[in-house]
Structure 1
Amino acid sequence: MSSAPWKPILKSLISENIKNMKTITPLLPMQLSTFDTLTCRPTNRSVIFRGFLGERKDENYKNELMEYLNSISPDANLKELNPEIETDLLVITTDIRSSKVKHLLENPGFESCWWFPVTSDQFRLSGNAYVFSSPTNSIIAHFPSDMLLSFYSSANSTSLIEHFDWEQERKKYWYGISSDLRASFLKLPSGQETNEGLVRELDPIGKNIEEKLLVNEALENFALVLMKVDYVDHLNLTPIPKRITWKFQKNDDGLNKEEWITKNFTY
Structure 2
Amino acid sequence: MVSAPRWLAALTTALGLPENKGQIMYQLASVDANGNPHVRTIGHRGFIEPEGSPNLPLLMCATDIRTPKVTQILTNPHVELIWWLSGSMEQFRLTGVVRLVPPPDAQLPDLPVQSTEASLAFQKMDAQGFEWEKKRVETYDVQPAFLRAGFARPPPGAIIENYDVGKSWPGIVPRAEDAQNEEEKQAYERGLRTFALMFFDPVEVDWVQLKEKPNRRTKFIRKGEEWSEYIAVP
* TM exceeding 0.5: yes
**Where do 1:62-211 residues align within 5 Å?**
86=54, 87-139=56-108, 148-151=121-124, 161-162=128-129, 164-189=130-155, 190-193=157-160, 194-205=165-176, 206-211=179-184
Per mean C-alpha deviation after superposition, the further-off stretch among 84-93 and 125-134 is 84-93
Residue 20 of structure 1 pairs with residue 22 of structure 2: no
Q: 1:62 — aligned with what?
A: none
SS of 1:48's equivalent?
strand
Distance between the aligned counterparts of 2:152 and 2:194, measured in 1?
A: 8
Instruction: Report whether the alignment pairs 1:246 with 2:220.
Output: yes
**Cα distance in 2, alignment partners of residues 95 and 226 from structure 1:** 14
The corresponding residue for 1:45 is 40
Structure 2: distance between partners of 1:209 and 1:103: 35
Closer/same/farther in 2, CA of residues 134 and 169 from structure 1, 3 Å limit: same
Is the partner of 2:172 in helix, strand or coil?
A: coil
Distance 1:144 1:204, change over 3 A: farther
Contact 1:2–1:152 (8 Å) recurs in 2: no
Would you tell me which structure has more strand in proportion to its own residues? Answer: 2
Q: Which amino acid in structure 2 is aligned with residue 188 of structure 1?
A: P
Q: Give the counterpart letter for 1:224 in structure 2.
A: L
1:92 shift after superposition = 0.6
CA contact 1:185–1:219 (8 Å) conserved in 2: yes
- Kept in 1, the 8 Å contact 2:30–2:79? The answer is yes
Alpha-carbon distance in 1 for matches of 2:197, 2:52: 18
Match of 1:79 in 2: none
Measured in 1, the distance between the counterparts of 2:45 and 2:52 equals 16
Provide the rounded CA distance (Å) in 2 between the counterparts of 1:28 and 1:34. Answer: 19
Please give the alpha-carbon distance, in whole angstroms, between the structure 1 residues aligned to 2:82 and 2:195: 23
Structure 1 unaligned segments of length 5 or more: list them: 56-82, 250-256
User: Residue 248 of structure 1: SS of its match in structure 2?
Assistant: strand
Instruction: Give the counterpart letter for 2:220 in structure 1.
Output: W
What is the CA deviation profile of residues 205-228 of structure 1, one whole-angstrom value per residue up to 9, with x for unaligned ones? 133333212211110000101101
Distance 1:198 1:85 in 2: 43
For residue 174 of structure 2, give the secondary structure of its aligned residue in structure 1: coil
Partner of 2:29: 33
Q: Which residue number corresponds to residue 205 of structure 2?
A: 232
1:73-113 C-alpha deviation (Å, 9 max, x unpaired): xxxxxxxxxx8984511001110011211110111111111
Does the CA-based 8 Å contact 1:120-1:236 persist in structure 2?
yes
Over 3 Å counting, the alpha-carbon distance change for 1:140 and 1:165 in structure 2 is: farther
CA positional deviation for 1:196: 4.0
TM-score normalised by length of structure 1: 0.73
Measured after TM superposition, the shift of residue 138 of structure 1 is 4.5
List alignment gaps of at least 5 residues for structure 2. Answer: none
Whichever residue aligns with residue 11 of structure 1, its letter is T
In percent, how many aligned pairs have the same letter?
Answer: 25
Q: For 1:16-52, what per-residue CA distance to the aligned partner results, in whole angstroms no more than 9, with x for missing partners?
A: 1xx225xxx83331111111224x3211111111111
SS of residue matched to 1:97: coil
CA contact (8 A) 2:60 2:199 kept: yes
Deviations 1:133-152 (A, max 9, x none): 11122449978689644346
Whether the aligned pair in 2 keeps the contact of 1:132 and 1:140 (CA below 8 Å) is: no
